[in-house]
Amino acid sequence: MVRQALFRPLVSTKWLAESVRNGKVGPSLRVLDGSWYSPGTREARKEYLERHVPGASFFDIEECRDNSSRYEMMLPSEAAFADYVGRLGVSNSTHVVVYDGDHLGSFYAPRIWWMFRVFGHHSVSVLNGGFRNWLKEGHPVTSEPTRPEPAVFKASLDRSLLKTYEEVLENLKSKKFQLVDSRSRGRYLGTEPEPDAAGLESGHIRGAFNMPFTEFMTEDGFEKSPEELRAMFQAKKVDLSQPIIATCRKGVTACHVALAAYVLGKPDVAIYDGSWFEWFHRGPRETFVSQAKA
């Protein structure tokens, strides 16, 4: 099997601004706004229609997921993903740049970055600094909706980047993979509640390391330097030379672990798509770890 060459996981706001200015956004370069916010907070599509990067299309993760699943944000089928991104003008030869408007600088963009990769598309990057810094630096915005010509996209699921409940359960015995939980320390420990989750208690899967996704970013919303990221993995005793499964609440912020590892030259971090939400409803109770008071 030929190893896929690493593609640049991050592009700068300056690089994208130059691409926009030079008219390069088109069939060979598609920009996607992948913003999503908790219900009752902000309206992602409304904000997109008010202002976005010129040439960007709105990637609605609520539409591009398995809506038949009882679990949160599960991957759609190959056919559904191919149809959805094809309607956004993405072909197999397109370089995709993803961003979101979260105040942290990046929240859902790494999830969409991973979705493209798990469906066999490697020419995908996250906008480093996100829309927050795009605005801060004074780059152009528009309210003009982007209506790209539909393209043909062929999806091929890369099973090595995706882990199921059964595989994570087996891993508790085999310990072939290191399990990394990207939620906040309090939710990982069980001392803080899971937000907007009636009946879902916090805690973590036995044996999981904790690397809160917010710590991968600077206060200004950019990805930390490779040196800082490497020191973080070392401090947590997570060995980048060994297999890793990343998990969180619903398979979203876990993708920040995969992105950080990719920046460090490790492209094979797998995501447990069901994450804690599925595990809480299916997993053996003896595998739950929580410091919550009775």
Active site residues: 248
Question: Measured between alpha carbons, how far is residue 12 from residues 30, 104, 292 in Å?
Answer: 15, 16, 41
5: helix, strand or coil: coil
CB-CB neighbours of 17 under 10 Å = 17
| Total count of residues recorded for the chain | 294
Which residues are registered as beta bridge partners of 57? 32
Which residues are registered as beta bridge partners of 56? 31
On the 0-12 / 13-18 / 19+ scale of CB atoms within 10 A, 244 is buried
266: helix, strand or coil: coil
281, 180 Cβ separation under 8 angstroms: no
Widest Cα–Cα separation across the chain:
60
Question: Which runs of E-coded beta strand occur in the chain?
Answer: 10-11, 29-33, 56-58, 95-99, 124-127, 162-163, 178-181, 204-205, 209-210, 244-247, 270-272, 288-289
65, 76 Cβ separation under 8 angstroms: yes
In what helix (H) or strand (E) does residue 257 lie, and over which residues does it extend?
helix 254-263
